[in-house]
Amino acid sequence: MRGKIAIVSVLCVLLATSVALAAETKQAKASWTGTIQVTGKHSEAELAKMAKVSMADAEKTALAAIEAKDADKKVTNRELEVEHGYLIYSFDIKVTGKKGIEEVNVDAGDGKVLAREHETSKGEAKEKREEKAK
């Protein structure tokens, strides 16, 4: 009987820990709020019409957010996308002499930097696989 109670107790603790970690991970991913909320599926052309900031202006903002000489920064990928329900520009920026890439998200409504994250090559490859799976 005590063994069963111990097993049930351990399972309850594991379940509670899993739920707490899942909630924390979800909250960390959505730590910013954009200005253009998007629901449902939209074509690239429809998303472009919703944007108030041009791709070129958003790219300048993203590059300015990276601390390096201008000559050492190169945008390797750019896209207008919906993330966490908001319309954003996402830029992958390679910095000469630094491993991985800097990902900078710029709000498509007001042009402000929403998030910046350093990604390793493995992390970038994983993200691309996840995007293809969607």
pLDDT single digits (tens) 17-76? 554 444 444 444 569 999 999 999 999 999 999 999 999 999 999 999 999 898 999 999
What is this structure's pTM? Answer: 0.71
| Structure-token match 């402000």, residue found | 112
Per-residue pLDDT reduced to its tens digit, 73-123: 999 999 999 999 999 999 999 999 999 999 999 999 999 999 999 998 766
**33/40 Cα distance (integer angstroms):** 18
List CB contacts of 119: < 8 A, sequence separation 6 or more: 92, 100, 101, 102, 103, 127
pLDDT at 40: 94
Report the side by side order of strands in the sheet with 73-83: 73-83, 86-95, 101-107, 113-119
Instruction: Determine how β-strand 86-95 pairs with β-strand 113-119.
Output: unpaired
pLDDT at 131: 66
